[in-house]
């Protein structure tokens, strides 16, 4: 599904109304129906609930008035707060105002004047609906609008944002003055970029997308290079397990990983590859830590390699690692290998011999800082999986902050310039391909910001490569399923105590969801 800017969405809405001959009020009705559907899926039936709907003067407010009418019809007790006089409403919002008034009566509409009254109304509500500002937001929020947003945030009730949390810039995700902290955002037509970047991520809560009937041919014409990953796309790319399968059918992943003090990274990546369905996994690791891995890993094979005095892979490993890579279906390089200068030299030499599907991660990325031209030698497009700090090292003039300020732009430009598939990790990981287009992964949670989850992603990615997925499909599917497994683990354990190993344990359950 394409992800769009406010201007792109407004143009699509307009084209649908003018060329598609679907009146704005019909789109608004569908928007309201979609919001109610997702709201009830999340919070249960609205019958008997008290709901306060806060409406601005624009079409976002119009959507809110549809929600108010539909919830009233379902037996909820509704109060609609108008932030502006009725005369200021847009034409379509005014139509929805009249429809609501006819259905619920004038006493259900409350002008936003007396702050204390509003505060007590919100406090007595089960839910607040934020229909204050949508894609029409242009400047900092001030005055009554700011007061309304702050009162909703302070009331302690879950807020459902219509289209986008009011105050969030639909393109940049930045907060313009103040913004709603939504539990659920039901976005209309196509998802907006601002829900997946910057502060927008924290303010949006759960994001659901509602189809309001924009003709697919109009959507196809939108020039957006950003898409939102979804379950169906991932499902189509996953390997099938035929009845005649044997372990050779599902590939052999080679993982070059580990050093003293960092055998856990190798173990996590190897286990994650197996849990993702890979037939065979072999880890190449410094000789003196090999026994540790043998003890940790039952199903994984290991290859002890020559090492430095610091017990990291040495330059002498190259002669062994070249045939190691050539005998595997796919290769991962990097988890826990250290940044020892000799190991760095080894990785740079090794990359020139990468002739099969590969994932380059962690310390191997640091080894490639300022040396990404070496990747031109790879015969199959490699997948790089940096976190923002590693990304900043790869892009010499960047910092972690500047990377996070433009994750989509940086990922797309880097993937195009260097000719790689890039997974820029972090909240809402983005995956970019060599043509510069970018997918946003909606799965995952803050509990996954813990040691070792990156190694798990590397293992899952090489595992899918070994099973024959092309690099782009493998990167997208691994990132999505990694997030799903993390979400399942988070549901069971909560976020604070979640460990990388818990994510591995949930991979099979995440995969089961695809086979249903």
Binding-site residue set: 59-63, 130, 134-140, 145, 163, 166, 265, 336, 387, 425-429, 454-455
Which of 130, 307, 363, 502 binds K ion (CB under 5 A)? It is 130
- By a kind-dependent CB cut-off of 5 to 8 A, residue 24 interacts, out of K ion, ligand NAX, none, with ligand NAX
Stretch of 90-98, 166-174, 258-266, 471-479 lying at the interface with K ion (CB under 5 A):
166-174
- Number of residues engaging ligand NAX in binding (CB under 6 A): 28
- φ, ψ dihedrals at 241, nearest 5°: -110, 95
Q: What's the closest the beta carbon of residue 182 comes to K ion, in angstroms?
A: 8
**Least distance to ligand NAX, CB of residue 133, Å:** 5
Q: How many residues does the chain have?
A: 516
Q: Do the Cβ atoms of 61 and 68 come closer than 8 Å?
A: no
Q: Which does 63 bind (CB under 5 to 8 A by kind): ligand NAX, K ion, none?
A: ligand NAX
Q: What is the DSSP string of 39-80?
A: HHHHH---TT-EEEEEE-SSHHHHHHHHHHHHHHHTT-EEEE
Crossing angle between the packed helical segments 91-104 and 24-43, to the nearest 10 degrees: 50
Using CB under 5 A as the binding rule, whether residue 208 contacts K ion is answered as: no
The least distance separating ligand NAX from the CB of residue 136, rounded to whole angstroms, comes to 2
Cβ proximity to K ion, 196 vs 480, nearer residue: 196
Least separation in angstroms between residue 286's CB and K ion is: 55
- CA angle, corner 152, sides to 149 and 156, nearest 5? 145
How many residues belong to the site for K ion (CB under 5 A)? 4
209-238 footprint of ligand NAX as x/- string (CB under 6 A): ---x--------------------------
445 neighbors 451 (Cβ within 8 angstroms)? no
Q: What is the DSSP letter of 239?
A: P
Which residues contribute to the annotated binding site for AMP?
425-429, 454
State the nearest-atom distance from the C-beta of 168 to K ion, in Å. Answer: 8
Which listed option, K ion, ligand NAX, none, makes contact with residue 166 (CB within 5 to 8 Å by class)?
K ion
Among 35, 54, 104, 134, which residue interacts with ligand NAX (rule: CB under 6 A)? 134
Alpha helices for 377-452 (secondary structure H): 388-394, 400-405, 407-418
Applying the rule CB under 6 A, the residues between 2 and 41 that interact with ligand NAX are 13, 24, 27-28, 31
Contact 277, 241 (CB under 8 A): yes
> From the list 35, 36, 49, 63, which residue makes contact with ligand NAX (rule: CB under 6 A)?
63
* Two tokens, residue 125: 């509500």
Which residues make Cβ contacts (< 8 Å) with residue 467, sequence separation at least 6? 239, 250, 251, 276, 277, 278, 279, 329
CA–CA separation, 447 and 251 (whole Å): 31
Contact present, 459 and 268 (Cβ < 8 Å): yes
- Least Cα distance to 194 among 180, 209, 174 occurs for 174
Stretch that binds ligand NAX, among 54-62, 98-106, 112-120, 325-333 (CB under 6 A): 54-62
> At its nearest, how many Å lie between ligand NAX and the CB of residue 198?
18
In 155-248, which residue ranges form alpha helices assigned H by DSSP? 200-204, 216-221, 231-237
| Alpha-carbon 244 to chain mean position | 36
Distances (CA, A) of 33 to 39, 192, 369: 10, 19, 50
Closer of 63 and 502 to ligand NAX (Cβ): 63
First to last CA, the chain: 22
Residues 135-174, one symbol each (x = binds ligand NAX by CB under 6 A, - = not), give xxxxxxx---x----------------xx-----------
Q: Is 166 in the site for K ion (CB under 5 A)?
A: yes
Among the residue ranges 53-61, 197-205, 315-323, 455-463, the one whose residues contact ligand NAX (CB under 6 A): 53-61
Q: Of residues 80, 149, 162, 420, which one binds K ion by CB under 5 A?
A: 162
**Which residue sits closest to K ion, CB atoms considered?**
166
Task: Give whichever of 33 and 233 is closer to ligand NAX, judged by the CB atom.
Answer: 33
- Selected range binding K ion among 112-120, 162-170, 345-353, 372-380, rule: CB under 5 A: 162-170
26/42 Cα distance (integer angstroms):
25
Reported in sequence order, the residue ranges of 378-441 that DSSP labels E, i.e. its strands, are 383-384, 421-424, 430-432, 438-440
Q: Find out whether 472 and 433 touch, Cβ atoms under 8 Å.
A: yes
Rounded Cα gap, residues 77 and 68, in angstroms: 9
Pick from ligand NAX, K ion, none: which does 130 bind, CB < 5 to 8 A by kind? K ion
The only residue of 95, 188, 272, 484 in contact with ligand NAX, by rule CB under 6 A: 188
Beta bridge partners of 204: none
Is 82 among the residues that bind ligand NAX (CB under 6 A)?
no
User: Which of 59, 358 has the CB closer to K ion?
Assistant: 59
Contact set with K ion (CB under 5 A): 130, 161-162, 166
Contact set with ligand NAX (CB under 6 A): 13, 24, 27-28, 31, 56-63, 90, 133-141, 145, 162-163, 188, 212
């Amino acid at each position: 599904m394409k992800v769009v800017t406010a201007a792109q969405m407004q143009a699509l809405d307009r084209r649908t109304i003018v060329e598609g001959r679907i009146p704005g009020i019909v789109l608004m009705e569908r928007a309201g129906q979609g919001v109610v559907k997702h709201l009830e899926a999340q919070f249960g039936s609205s019958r008997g609930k008290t709901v306060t709907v806060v409406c601005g003067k624009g079409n976002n407010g119009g959507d809110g008035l549809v929600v108010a009418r539909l919830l009233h019809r379902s037996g909820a007790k509704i109060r609609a707060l108008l932030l502006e006089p009725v005369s200021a409403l847009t034409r379509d919002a005014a139509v929805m105002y009249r429809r609501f008034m006819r259905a619920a009566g004038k006493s259900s509409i409350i002008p936003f004047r007396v702050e204390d009254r509003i505060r007590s109304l919100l406090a007595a509500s089960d839910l607040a609906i934020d229909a204050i500002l949508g894609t029409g937001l242009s400047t900092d929020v001030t005055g009554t609008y700011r007061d309304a947003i702050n009162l909703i945030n302070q009331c302690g009730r879950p807020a459902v944002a219509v289209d986008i949390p009011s105050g969030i810039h639909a393109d940049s995700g930045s907060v313009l003055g103040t913004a709603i902290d939504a539990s659920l955002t039901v976005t209309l037509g196509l998802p907006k970029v601002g829900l997946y970047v910057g502060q927008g991520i924290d303010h949006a809560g759960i994001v659901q997308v509602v189809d309001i009937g924009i003709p697919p041919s109009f959507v196809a014409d939108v020039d957006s290079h950003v898409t939102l990953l979804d379950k169906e796309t991932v499902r189509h790319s996953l390997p099938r397990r035929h009845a005649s399968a044997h372990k050779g059918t599902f590939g052999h992943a080679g993982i070059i990983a580990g050093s003293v003090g960092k055998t856990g990274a190798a173990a996590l990546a190897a286990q994650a590859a197996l849990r993702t369905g890979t037939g065979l996994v072999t880890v190449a690791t410094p000789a003196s830590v090999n026994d540790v891995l043998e003890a940790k890993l039952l199903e994984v094979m290991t290859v002890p390699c020559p090492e430095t005095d610091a017990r990291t892979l040495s330059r002498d490993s190259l002669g062994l690692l070249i045939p190691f890579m050539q005998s595997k279906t796919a290769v991962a390089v990097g988890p826990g290998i250290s940044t020892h200068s000799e190991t760095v030299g080894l990785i740079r030499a090794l990359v020139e011999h990468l002739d099969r599907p590969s994932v380059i991660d962690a310390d191997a990325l640091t080894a490639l800082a300022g040396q990404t031209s070496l990747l031109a030698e790879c015969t199959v497009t490699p997948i790089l999986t940096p976190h923002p700090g590693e990304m900043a090292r790869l892009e010499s003039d960047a910092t972690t902050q500047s990377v996070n300020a433009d994750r989509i732009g940086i990922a797309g430009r880097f993937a195009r310039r260097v000719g790689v598939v890039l997974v820029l990790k972090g909240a809402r990981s983005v995956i970019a391909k060599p043509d510069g287009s970018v997918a946003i992964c909606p799965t995952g949670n803050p509990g996954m910001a813990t040691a070792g989850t990156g190694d798990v992603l590397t293992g899952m990615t090489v595992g899918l490569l070994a099973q024959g997925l092309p690099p782009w499909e493998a990167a997208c599917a691994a990132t999505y399923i990694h997030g799903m497994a993390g979400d399942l683990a988070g549901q069971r354990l909560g976020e604070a105590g979640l460990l990388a190993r818990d994510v591995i344990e949930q991979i099979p359950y995440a995969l089961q969801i695809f086979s249903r």
